[in-house]
Amino acid sequence: MLLNVQELKAAKARLTLRETIDVADLLSQVPGVRPAGPLEADVAAEPFGEFVKVAGRLDCNLEWTCVRCLTKFEEPLHFTYDERFKQVPKEVADLGEQDDEDFVPFHGDQLELRPYLQDELLLNLPLSPTCSEDCKGLDPETGEDLNGKPERPRPVKIDPRLEALKGWFDSERS
């Protein structure tokens, strides 16, 4: 998604950009998630003083693996994108984005937005995706999926090293 900054500044108008981005390679190194479709980017770029403001919406259908029960489920991911870019000399652009700046520096007349949109996708992935809020997960002993099964009482297991203390309070009461 290449943006010609000089043309944008000369036109002094808002420019709408739409692109479909394949994210299979990007997500291949992320455990527990696979793309179920491309990243759909619908953004608008406009001159904003000495900056170029790019804002819009990003949508992607993803196949997740639940961290509790390990079942696969498909769920869309929708999020907004809002970034300011500033044209700077090459030396400054080579330093990259600084923590104390509210903009992304770039050099040249054209700005490739694809890497920034892909980074935004990675930053919006949930850390622990679950198939549902009330997912019960797997049984720690048998490994079976506990979802859809009735609750059953769990026997209280006492650490064998602490077994001798089991009757401690009972002996004090006598």
Instruction: Summarize pLDDT for 7-49 with one digit per residue, the tens.
Output: 878 888 888 889 999 999 999 989 889 999 999 999 999 988 8
Identify the residue whose tokens are 């990259």. 96
| Mean pLDDT (whole number) for 132-147 | 87
Res. 174 pLDDT band, cuts 50 70 90: low
Among 6, 3, 40, residue whose Cα is nearest residue 20 = 40
Q: How far apart are CA 117 and CA 17, in angstroms?
A: 12
Cα(59)–Cα(120) distance, integer angstroms: 11
Tell me if 32 sits within 8 A of 130, measured CB to CB. Answer: no
Residue 131 has pLDDT above 70, yes or no: yes
Look over the chain and give the mean of its residue pLDDT values, rounded to a whole number.
85
- The β-bridge partners of 146 are none
Identify the pLDDT of residue 171. 61
The Cα 13–Cα 28 span in angstroms is 38
pLDDT score, position 100: 57
